[in-house]
Structure 1
Amino acid sequence: MTNTTLVMLPGTGSDAAFVRASFAPASAAAGWSLVAVDPTPSDLIAGYRRALDDAVRAARRGGGRLLVGGVSIGAAVAARWLLDRADSGVGNRVVDGVVAVMPAWSGAPDSAPAAVLARSSAEMLRRDGLEVTLDRMAASSPDWLARTLAPSWRSQWPSLPDALDAAAAYASPTDDDVAAIDVPVAVVGVDGDPVHPVSVARAWTAAARRGAIATTTLDEVGRDSAVLGRCARDALAALAPADS
């Protein structure tokens, strides 16, 4: 793709640093520019949508194209944003595809593991404070995840609980919604992740008009998060013949 920018929204509690680490190498190899969006924890969802609107305006000014997506809640917000912009023709005019990495649920969050975890983390943060909660997270999470999230959580404090609650209440696209997306949907699933079940990623792929999935494992992500970017690139490559 010529003059293409990949705009990626982080997952809940994460930040642009993780997005850059995960997607910059694959973006460079594919010839894309990468925009890693930093969250505004006090206004998480609206902030992500503003960033996508800004990216559209920049693409129109520069004559470029966009791939939009995100990790976990970021994937849901990007997909919903594109659906909400369908009447304006954004998909046909500027956006060439959606990159949905580790989608956490479809439809209402209800008892989805990621939503339950976000709600309980927000409650703990308000009750016990940041450092105590970080210590507990480190004791119960893989080392790489705790190392990744600790600086992000500190940078988003004290608004972090608000961001977690906003994510936990967000209505993700349903299967019917995903089927209405009129551009290719590249999905990345992670086997062994109890918070982002790979079954959700497979359901998004099956629902999409033009969908492809690439999977990795939680251990591989822990060793090198750039595997997520490589999987996203592979899924998009699998969709390229349908676009030609």
Structure 2
Amino acid sequence: MSLILRGATVVLLPGTGSDDDYVYRAFSPALHDCGAVVVTPAPEPERLVEGYRQALNAAARSGPIVAGGVSIGAAVATAWAAARPDLAIGVLAALPAWTGAPDGAPAALAARYSAQMLRRDGLIASVAQMREGSPAWLGDELARSWAGQWPELPDAMDEASRYVAPTLDELARLAVPLGLAAATDDQVHPVEVALDWVAAAPRAALRTVTLTEMGADPAALGRACVAALLEAGSTHQGC
């Protein structure tokens, strides 16, 4: 059966340290073009994963939903959809960071380092250091979202760094279409992770972008991910 996004509720979860403002700007243009209803719950840094799960459960009380997100948000959404096939009709997974246990995944290491830096040096000095190693657009995005989640942000980063993402076996049992988006030049969210996910899931497709494209147009990430979901969920392109 083809996936129909028109009228569907799509819940999108931000990445670690990011926020609902960014994920809305990234995904809403493509989803609104398809006639979907976009829900972007704000992260609760003091209870990041549980807050995300509760937001998905709350949205699904009115009927099955598309679950999605970026990085840790993508992992939580995919795990939720795998566990609740009765409540999910599809998954949007942008920039998945690792498969299974985090171990030495770059995103997990970065989250732990950022948490330590924030606790040691404070918000202002940590934002300045973060900007030095980030593209300008990403530095601007994170400076805003980090300030909005301070002072609980280090706790959220530590929690995210320990999160066990879906395993390849769990992805193989995913009953709904999975649309993936990865940035080919993102060393924190390696494209190889998305390639593993698309190979493991029964109905999955992957589209890629670059960090430069994401900086020029935040909606580039969402368009890629939605296009992948439509490909995974149908034999023809279209909402």
Contact 1:30 1:233 in 2 (8 A): no
Q: Which amino acid aligns with 1:33?
A: V
Query: How far off is 1:218 after superposition?
Result: 1.2
Q: TM-score normalised to the size of structure 2? A: 0.94
What is the CA RMSD across the aligned residues, in angstroms? 1.4
Distance 1:24 1:80 in 2: 22
Q: Distance in 1 between matches of 2:225 and 2:96?
A: 13
Q: CA deviation at 1:108?
A: 0.6
The DSSP-based 3-state class of the residue aligned with 1:188 is strand
Q: CA–CA distance in 1 between the matches of 2:101 and 2:11?
A: 25
- CA gap 1:82/1:241 in 2 versus in 1, 3 angstroms: closer
What is aligned with 2:165?
Answer: 172
Aligned to 1:83: 82
Q: Secondary structure at the match of 1:7?
A: strand
Report 1:87-102 matches (<5 A). Answer: 89-90=86-87, 95-102=88-95
User: Displacement, 1:121?
Assistant: 0.3
Aligned to 2:212: 219
Q: Distance in 2 between matches of 1:74 and 1:134?
A: 22
Please tell me whether residue 32 in structure 1 is matched to residue 47 in structure 2: no
Q: Secondary structure at the match of 1:154?
A: helix
Task: Give the equivalent residue in structure 1 for 2:195.
Answer: 202
Choose from 218, 223, 229 the match for 2:222: 229
Residues 167-197 of structure 1, C-alpha deviation per residue, up to 9 Å, x if partnerless? 0000001111111110011111111000000
1:67 alignment counterpart: 66
- The structure where helix makes up a greater share of residues is 1
Q: Secondary structure at the match of 2:188?
A: coil
1:54 corresponds to: 58
Counterparts of 1:38 and 1:82, CA distance in 2: 19
In structure 1, what is the Cα distance between the partners aligned to 2:203 and 2:233?
10
Deviation at 1:232, TM superposition (A): 1.5
TM-score (norm 1): 0.92
Match of 2:134 in 1: 141
SS for the counterpart of 1:14 is coil
Indicate the residue corresponding to 1:19 in structure 2: 23
Unaligned runs of 5+ in 2: none
2-side partners of 1:240 and 1:111: how far apart? 33
Amino acid at match of 2:53: R
- 157, 162, 179: which one aligns with 1:186: 179
Q: For the residues of structure 1 that align with 2:230 and 2:82, how far apart are their CA atoms?
A: 23
Distance change >3 Å, CA 85–CA 66, structure 1 → 2? closer
Contact 1:115 1:168 in 2 (8 A): yes
Shift of 1:85: 2.7
